[in-house]
Copies of this chain bind each other. A is one copy, B any other.
């Protein structure tokens, strides 16, 4: 965003997209925060947010923060991947729920999208300090636990672990979901790094693997 060599094809349009992306990646935020995040003057930011609000792409809450609105929901149709993804999400939801309840940490489902891992669904953990809000967010494949899981080329390996790869203080345990001879998705357990020290996570690792196996079975049955 900062310095772009690419010639501007359409400034206001790009900035509008910047704002939507900022909201999707960083969650709800107020005017100035958004302005800073996107590097757009506040007055201009306000004008754009007004348009987005009017069209219901974002909503303005009581406390003057902006959230993505109903119109953004409609983007989830008319794509081949959309259908596949929603099937995946539906099938895995309650396995994630189970994993979250068992471990207390937030459980995610991720798929590969280009050269990134994209978090598709979640069941939030039960502890008061827990991981939230990464659904719809993409992280690199290299150097992350999810990434390693998605890039696996042998089934039945151990789970993948990582501490502080994407964001300092975030720990992860991840396992691949195989269907036929390909990895179709990955389960990922996320929480504060302090609770993900190797010594403490033996049970969780088993639970993550079990969840991956269960989802594999669900998928196999339904296709």
- Rounded to whole angstroms, the CA-CA distance of A114 and B138 in the bound complex is 33
Task: With A23-B78, A79-B72, A94-B94 as known contacts, state yes or no: A17 contacts B14, CB within 8 Å.
Answer: no
Whether B78 and A68, one on each chain, are in contact in the complex, defined by CB atoms closer than 8 angstroms, is yes
| A67, A72, A83, A114 interface centre (most CB from chain B within 10 Å) | A72
Which A15-63 residues sit within 8 Å CB-CB of chain B?
15-17, 20-21, 23-25, 27-28, 47-48, 50-52, 54-57
Report if A156 contacts B (CB, 8 A): no
Which A66-104 residues sit within 8 Å CB-CB of chain B?
67-85, 90, 93-94, 97
Main SS of the interface on chain A? helix
Q: Please, which residues of chain B bring their CB within 8 A of the CB of A74?
A: 21, 24-25, 76, 118, 135-138
Whether A67 and B47, one on each chain, are in contact in the complex, defined by CB atoms closer than 8 angstroms, is no
Whether A75 and B75, one on each chain, are in contact in the complex, defined by CB atoms closer than 8 angstroms, is yes
Chain B nearest CB: distance from A16 CB in Å? 4
Whether B118 and A70, one on each chain, are in contact in the complex, defined by CB atoms closer than 8 angstroms, is yes
Report if A126 contacts B (CB, 8 A): no
Whether A78 and B136, one on each chain, are in contact in the complex, defined by CB atoms closer than 8 angstroms, is yes
Whether B12 and A10, one on each chain, are in contact in the complex, defined by CB atoms closer than 8 angstroms, is yes
- Please report A residues at the B interface, Cβ cutoff 8 Å: 6, 9-17, 20-21, 23-25, 27-28, 47-48, 50-52, 54-57, 67-85, 90, 93-94, 97, 113-114, 118, 120-123, 132-133, 135-138
